[in-house]
Amino acid sequence: MAALPDDTMFHPGVAVGWDPDSMGIEIERKFILHDDSWRTQVQRSERIVQGYLVGADALTAGLARASVRVRRAGEQAWLNIKAARLGVERAEYDYPIPPDDADTLLATLCGGVLSKWRHHVRVDGTLFEIDEFLGDNAGLVVAEVELPHADAMFPRPPWLGREVSTLGRYYNVNLIAHPYARWTQAERDAADGESAGCC
């Protein structure tokens, strides 16, 4: 197992750069987009590759209460543990790992890999992370905004579309087994009223 670089900060339950006051809980809302006008506001973008050590199959079968994800973004990598429940507020823990270990885990232990570009767009001081998926999920673009509490106010730019925070198929953990390429038009439009499923 590769060692973490000496300058890597490690705190249980928190990724490098995370606010320790919000450690352990993610409050996030997820939206599809009306159009591509957000692209002119992108401040930076990064390529992300991720896979699941404990994924949708185990969650659906009731064999796990959380997903366990390996994520690589540039020269950083994490193990992520996220509660298997629908909604905007979920328990989540991130642990930095050596990038070489992440590459090995993604290549040998994950049941499929998901790739995407993450674009960072700031609107009136609020950061929107816009994920543009690749491969079998090409064409799916989702905006996420993390909030300090579930009912926090946030800007609604014109490109922000329908909220899909409670639609399980939009969760990354489900996009490997049921990729966007196989969705019906109703699923793509978020118009079918799905309110349950694996997360």
Greater confidence (59 vs 198) lies with 59
Instruction: Give the pLDDT score at 193.
Output: 55
Q: The tokens of 155 are what?
A: 């800007």
Distances (CA, A) of 131 to 8, 39, 86, 153: 26, 12, 19, 22
Instruction: Give the pLDDT score at 83.
Output: 87
Residue 86 has pLDDT above 80, yes or no: no
Q: How many domains does the chain have?
A: 1
User: What are φ and ψ of residue 56, in 5° steps?
Assistant: -60, -40
Residue 1 has pLDDT above 60, yes or no: no
Q: Is the Cβ–Cβ distance between 102 and 113 less than 8 Å?
A: no
Q: How far apart are CA 154 and CA 137, in angstroms?
A: 28
Instruction: Give the pLDDT score at 36.
Output: 97
Name the band, by pLDDT with cuts 50, 70 and 90, for residue 23.
low
Mean pLDDT to the nearest integer, 34-44: 97
Instruction: Give the pLDDT score at 43.
Output: 98
Residue 108 lies in a domain: yes
Q: How far apart are CA 129 and CA 119, in angstroms?
A: 6
Name the band, by pLDDT with cuts 50, 70 and 90, for residue 161.
very high
Query: Is the Cα dihedral 12, 13, 19, 22 positive or negative?
Result: negative
The identity of residue 153, as a single letter, is M
- What range defines the domain where residue 105 resides? 25-188
Residue 35 lies in a domain: yes
Instruction: Tell me the pLDDT of the chain averaged across its residues.
Output: 85
Q: 106: part of which helix (H) or strand (E)?
A: helix 99-108
Residue 9 lies in a domain: no
Distances (CA, A) of 148 to 5, 17, 143: 31, 16, 17
Contacts of 31 (CB under 8 A, 6+ apart): 142, 143, 144, 145, 160, 161, 162, 163, 164, 165
Residue 196 lies in a domain: no
Q: The tokens of 51 are what?
A: 């896979």
Residue 11 lies in a domain: no
Instruction: Give the pLDDT score at 71.
Output: 97
Instruction: Give the pLDDT score at 16.
Output: 38
Q: What is the CATH number of the domain that holds 148?
A: 2.40.320.10
Residue 97 has pLDDT above 50, yes or no: yes
Lowest mean pLDDT among 9-18, 82-91, 103-112: 9-18
Residue 17 lies in a domain: no
Residue 30 lies in a domain: yes
Helices of type H across the chain: 56-60, 99-108, 185-188
Residue 21 has pLDDT above 50, yes or no: no
Catalytic residue check, 52: yes
Residue 199 lies in a domain: no
